[in-house]
Amino acid sequence: MRTRGMPGYLVAISCLLGLTVSAALAQEADFSTNIDLGYVSKYIWRGTVCNPDPAFQPSVTLSHSSGLSFNFWGSLDTTDVSDNSGSFTENDYTLSYAWAAGGRDMSIGYIYYDFPNTDFESTQEVFYNVGLGGPLGLGLGLNYDFDQANGLYGALSGSYSLKVAESKEVSLTGKLGFATSDYNEYYFGADKAGLVDLVLGASIPLEYNKYTITPSISYSMLVNSDLKDAYADDDTNFIAGLTVSSAF
């Protein structure tokens, strides 16, 4: 497959938005910036093994109090497992809008996935997220790939905070993913709709000055037996991670 770069108009829009927001940050208190520097032992995404070795994954989010935000997220290979050590193999650009209605948090948005230094085609999604509430903090997310896969991936997620010390809590999380047959055929080679992946995780945020340091561990597995049979890579994975975050 031929690698496609990010379309010129999207690059221009992203740069213009970044410059506009950056300039406004110095003048408007309604804007904020969040930076996350993540490191994972392997990169697993929706049950697929994107990188079996460690990766550095920085993220920058520019937000406005109105609910509008722009995020850049990247994954940089730290080993030569794919002959890309020190190079980005994925860059995601997300424009989203968040609001609350009827006591529920919601968001909609658009994601452009770019895969530099690889043979993967770039693709695009639109998404909708809604918080369902309850003691487990349930939420539902729907992502529709209208470019390459032409399919829907959805996930039911939940979280629970467990207090382990006076000022420290362990966050326990879970996610169960499902997808349409078109999505599963594109990503796994199995033309069947159904459950996709199960992810269980635990993390503990630690405050240090104006930084939050969060070690984490998670377990990811493919659920559908047809996907397991069709998928060539590992269908179960343990992932360790460490993220340093700061807000400005």
Contact 106, 130 (CB under 8 A): yes
Is 244 exposed, middle or buried (CB count within 10 Å of its CB: 0-12, 13-18, 19+)? middle
Total domains in the chain come to 1
Residue 29 lies in a domain: yes
Cα separation, 175 vs 69, whole angstroms: 24
On the question of pLDDT at 87 being above 50, the answer is: yes
Residue 69 lies in a domain: yes
Reported residue count of the chain is: 248
Residue 2 lies in a domain: no
Helix H or strand E segment including 55 = strand 55-64
Residue 31 lies in a domain: yes
Is 139 exposed, middle or buried (CB count within 10 Å of its CB: 0-12, 13-18, 19+)? buried
Residue 1 lies in a domain: no
* 28-54 confidence digits (pLDDT tens): 568 999 999 999 999 999 999 999 999
pLDDT of residue 212: 96
Q: Which range marks the domain in which residue 123 is found?
A: 8-247
* 123-155 confidence digits (pLDDT tens): 999 999 999 988 899 999 999 999 999 999 999
80 Cα distance to chain centroid: 23
Residue 3 lies in a domain: no
Residue 225 lies in a domain: yes
Percent share of the chain, pLDDT over 70: 88
For residue 203, what is the domain's CATH number?
A: 2.40.160.40
